[in-house]
Amino acid sequence: MILPPRGPLRVYATLTFFDSLVPGIMLAGGVLFFTKVVGLDAVQVGTGLSAATLAGLAAALPAGRLGDRLGHRRLLIGLSLLRALVLGGYQLVGSLPVFLVIACLSGLAESGVGPVRQAYLATITTPENRVGTLAFNRVVRNIGATLSTPALGLALAVDSPSAFRALIGAGAVSVLVVALIATRLPETRGPVPGAGPCAPKPATVRGRAGVLRDRPYVALSLLNGLLIMHMELLEIGMPLWVTGHTGAPAWTTSVLLFTNVLVAIGLQIRVGRGVTDVGSAARALRKGGYCLLAASALFAASGLLGPAWSVVVLLGAVVLLTFTELLQSAGSWGLSYELADPARPGEYQGIWSLGTQLVRACGPLAVTLALSSLAHVGWALIGTLYLAASTLPHLLTRRTPTPAAQPAADLRRAPTCADTPSRTADGTAPLDAVGERAGIGL
């Protein structure tokens, strides 16, 4: 894995690393903090987290629009500071009402920062290198999340209020570092060094409906949200299945999650190389559907085998599920950027993020019900429905013109960038020329 060249892409990757430390810390650490330190019960914590999710649904699209108007870098800094304040504010929680208020603020900030960050990336990359850059940052995010887990383990080993307070404090400091790093990113109201010839300028959003009038794009965002279901299968479905329906040893879940991380880190960039336009993005999603169908069959079979063979089959299922993850993420990046209006990246990334959040809010319940009540049939149903959903983006993109009114198939040429000279008048390559476009040494 080669680092990006000096400039915006390397700064952005550094930002991604520090930002990735927070989910690893908060995934279980936050829940334990609220129950062990604050004294809330499980129902109260669940209520607060649900309220945060609902608040987040209301923030994605407005945050994207605001970024298009004010500048994505500026809003990224502001939202990162808000996230740091909210995480620090958890230290002051002493009752359910205060917890609900801070949780909702957290949901707003966390949901808003995603599309703003993704929209900013559109301004410092070109269509040719964008998916590769996103793949690199996904690897960095996985590494950061993995490195943060020892902090959680240490807090669990100490098992004291001060340890959990320190854990939450570390998360707040990490987000504060993100805000400081973001100040080193260039403004992108026009092309910047390393941004490439396609850096869009801030848009004046036309009408209140905006991206909501782009019905094919909205439909694709909802479909993509459905295809994110592989995360619920990994994080919720797989542990429940292993412990409740197979004879595999108790340590198997940890091995399977570690296998997922290794495969994702090792192959994300390679898989991302195959997505170069709308057509290849749609094909990646369809291939991911085939992988998940095969993974579902292996998961179901693992419940019929003895302990040793069950572990072997489960490893194969998780590898296939990880390939689904890699293909889905690469395909999603390709569609979400290539079919978006380049003058309104924040608004379009906001609606794309909203589709994901809607499905992820319902996904845990759907997966739990399917596997607990239908067992082996549930895996067959999940795999079949996922495969069917993964074929629909190909059908939609064949009929959907891009915002520039050009056919999706013509995006291979990327005419807005292809006509940009690769040399300046003195014969030297500009900073945003194709020579540096890869940004990650692909």
Answer with the one of 131, 157, 191 that is the final residue of a domain.
191
Give the closest residue to 132 by CA, choosing from 398, 434, 422.
434
**Residue 438 is assigned to a structural domain of this protein:** no
Answer with the one of 157, 191, 225 that is the final residue of a domain.
191
Residues 232 and 379 in one domain: yes
- What is the chain's pLDDT, residue by residue, as a tens digit (442 residues)? 567 778 899 999 999 999 998 876 776 677 778 888 888 887 888 888 888 888 888 888 899 999 999 899 999 999 999 999 998 888 888 888 998 999 899 889 988 999 999 999 988 988 888 888 999 999 999 898 888 878 777 887 888 888 888 888 988 999 999 999 999 999 875 433 334 434 344 344 444 567 888 889 999 999 999 999 999 899 888 998 998 899 898 889 889 989 999 999 999 999 988 898 899 999 999 999 999 999 999 999 999 999 999 999 999 999 999 999 999 999 999 999 999 988 889 999 999 998 788 877 788 888 888 888 888 999 999 999 999 999 999 888 875 554 543 433 333 333 333 343 333 333 333 333 323 333 333 3
**Residue 424 is assigned to a structural domain of this protein:** no
**Residue 309 is assigned to a structural domain of this protein:** yes
Residues 10 and 117 in one domain: yes
Output b/e per residue, 24-63; b: 16+ Cβ within 10 A: bbbeebbebbbeebbebeeebbebbbebbbebbbebbbbb
**Residue 180 is assigned to a structural domain of this protein:** yes
Residues 266 and 155 in one domain: no
Could you tell me the sign of the dihedral formed by the alpha carbons of 431, 432, 434, 438, in that order? positive
Amino acid identity, position 18: F
Residues 126 and 250 in one domain: no
Which CATH number covers residue 367? 1.20.1250.20
Residues 274 and 333 in one domain: yes
Secondary-structure breakdown of the chain: helix, strand, coil percentages, each rounded to the nearest 5:
75, 0, 25
The number of distinct structural domains making up the chain is 2
- Write out the residue range of the structural domain in which residue 297 sits: 211-405
Quick check: 389 and 227 in contact, CB under 8 A?
yes
**Residue 27 is assigned to a structural domain of this protein:** yes
Quick check: 86 and 365 in contact, CB under 8 A?
no
What is the C-alpha separation between 433 and 422, in angstroms, rounded? 5
Integer-rounded Cα Rg, in Å, for the chain is 22
* Ramachandran class of 249: left when φ > 0, alpha when ψ lies in -120 to 50, beta otherwise: beta
Tokens representing 139 are 């690897």
Residues 157 and 222 in one domain: no
**Residue 226 is assigned to a structural domain of this protein:** yes
pTM summary value: 0.80
Residues 179 and 317 in one domain: no
Residues 236 and 354 in one domain: yes
Residues 1 and 121 in one domain: yes
Answer with the one of 156, 191, 226 that is the final residue of a domain.
191
Residues 172 and 25 in one domain: yes
DSSP structural state of residue 196: -
Residues 63 and 135 in one domain: yes
What is the C-alpha separation between 72 and 90, in angstroms, rounded? 27
What is the C-alpha separation between 346 and 117, in angstroms, rounded? 9
What is the C-alpha separation between 213 and 221, in angstroms, rounded? 13
**Residue 170 is assigned to a structural domain of this protein:** yes
Give the closest residue to 296 by CA, choosing from 317, 312, 313.
317
**Residue 420 is assigned to a structural domain of this protein:** no
Residues 247 and 158 in one domain: no
Output b/e per residue, 265-295; b: 16+ Cβ within 10 A: bebbbebbebbbbbbbbbbbbbbbbbbbbbb
Helix axes 376-399, 345-374, angle to 10 degrees: 160
